[in-house]
Structure 1
Amino acid sequence: MAKKDPTASVDTLLQTIRRHHRLTEQETQVIGTYFRRDLFKRKSTLLQAGQTAHRVYFVVSGILHMYYTDERGQPYSCNFFMPGELATDLESFSKQLPAGNAIETLTAAECLSISCKETVSLMQESPAFNKYVMGVIETIAMHNINRTKDLLSLQPEMRYQKLLATRPDIIRAVPQKYIARFLGISPESLSRIRSRIVTLPASH
């Protein structure tokens, strides 16, 4: 379901942008007018594979899950979008082509969403928002490159250790079966890896 007034949530988006870019008062006022506040139940589908991504979602709360399915119907997780992050199938959204991935909510979620056309307009109106979006695109591109390299070159335990070091929020919040899919291993293998990792007691 959707509510039209995003006022209660847009501050989270503005704070995220301000961490990296200076916002003018005019930009602060105009950004909120472009976004719609959406509330989703757990396991809600935001994008189906084969559909065109017409909206981008800023996650206020909850977790979004991007995945694809092979010809046997086996799902593979390729990204998780946590609070403070933008979520969409970037290639589908930017080129307006059918998406190869699907996006669903792993939990109940609150998002701010904006259409493709509105995104272009807002990027033209707000230099800070433009820089923010371009930075997100760059981050996603690097994430995809590094993920491919890791799957090809790192052993499963090293992949887990790297994820633990770089994205402990995912390790804490995402169910183990999805983390296993993301790492390209079975849930049983992930359990064995986790059991081998010894957490040193904190010094006092």
Structure 2
Amino acid sequence: MYSALYNHINKFIDLSSEEQEILASLLKSFSFKKKAYLHEVGDICRANYFVVKGCLRLYFVDIKGAEQTTQFAIENWWISDLTSFIFQKPSDFYIQAAEQTEVIAIEHRHYDEMLAKIPKLEKYFRSIYQKLHQASQIRIKYLYSQTAEERYTNFNKLFPEFVQRVPQYMLASYLGFTPEFLSKIRAKK
């Protein structure tokens, strides 16, 4: 049932069958329709989500009322409002399904128990959070050091299948420009 997650974890650490059983007892599976919200602004984020199938996005609404996507998660990626999740504070973000999505969730109320029962998962999540932080830093650097067209071209080279999956307005907000500008870039290609 949780084989996609176990396979992902085993790329970083080895989980025994007993540890997998313990972990399974602390997890929940959910399915979300396209455009469904897993989490909304003002709520406390109660789970960290591992995407088995589909695509989620983390976004906020800026002072002009425009949606600003800060993170996507596709198969084998984690997503959460980590600040809200870790500190149990009201969130400034939404988590929404960009397409029909299946996830495995570890709820906050089980997070510390999971780490206490399976200490080696600390290393796994540290690795995941480090990769997330690195990706976030690179994205910020690109937003300030590349033209919009360069950002699109580089993103398209790195994730060509992703560019086809995600709605244009979501991709544009992630890359820091308008959907209209994205249409102009695509028209040039």
Q: TM-score, normalised by structure 1?
A: 0.86
What is residue 4 of structure 1 aligned with on the other side? none
Matching residue of 1:31: 23
- Show the 5 A alignment for 1:90-129: 90-129=82-121
Q: Distance in 2 between matches of 1:51 and 1:138?
A: 25
Question: 1:62 maps to what in 2?
Answer: 54
Distance in 1 (CA, whole Å) between partners of 2:156 and 2:117 is 38
Taking only the aligned residue pairs, the percentage that are identical comes to: 27
Report whether the alignment pairs 1:89 with 2:77. Answer: no
Aligned to 2:186: 194
Aligned equivalents of 1:77, 1:60: Cα separation in 2: 21
Task: Give 1:185 shift.
Answer: 1.2
Aligned-pair CA distance for 1:64: 0.6
TM-score where L is the length of structure 2: 0.93
How many Å apart are 1:74 and its aligned residue?
1.2
Unaligned runs of 5+ in 2: none
Check whether the contact 1:124–1:130 (CA below 8 A) recurs between aligned residues: no
Of 52-61 and 118-127, deviating more is 118-127
Q: CA deviation at 1:53?
A: 0.7
Mapped partners of 2:25, 2:121: distance in 1: 13
The equivalent residue for 2:157 is 165
Q: Contact 1:67/1:102 (CA < 8 Å) preserved in 2?
A: yes
The number of residues matched between the two structures is 189
Q: Aligned runs of 1:10-21 on 2, under 5 Å?
A: 10-21=2-13
AA matched with 1:61: K
Q: Higher Cα Rg: structure 1 or 2?
A: 1
Find the aligned partners of 2:149 and 2:140 in 1 and give their Cα distance: 16
Change (3 A) 1:78 1:127: same
1:73 aligns with 2:86: no
Deviation at residue 77 of structure 1 after TM alignment = 1.1
Match for residue 176 of structure 1?
A: 168
Alignment pair present for 1:136 and 2:112: no
* Alignment deviations for residues 162-189 of structure 1 (CA, whole Å, 9 cap, x no partner): 2123333421311112111111112222
Letter in 2 for 1:172: Q
Task: Deviation per CA, 1:37-88: give whole Å up to 9, x if none.
Answer: 1111221111111211111111111111111101232111111110111110
Structure 1 segments, 4+ long, off by >3 Å, are none
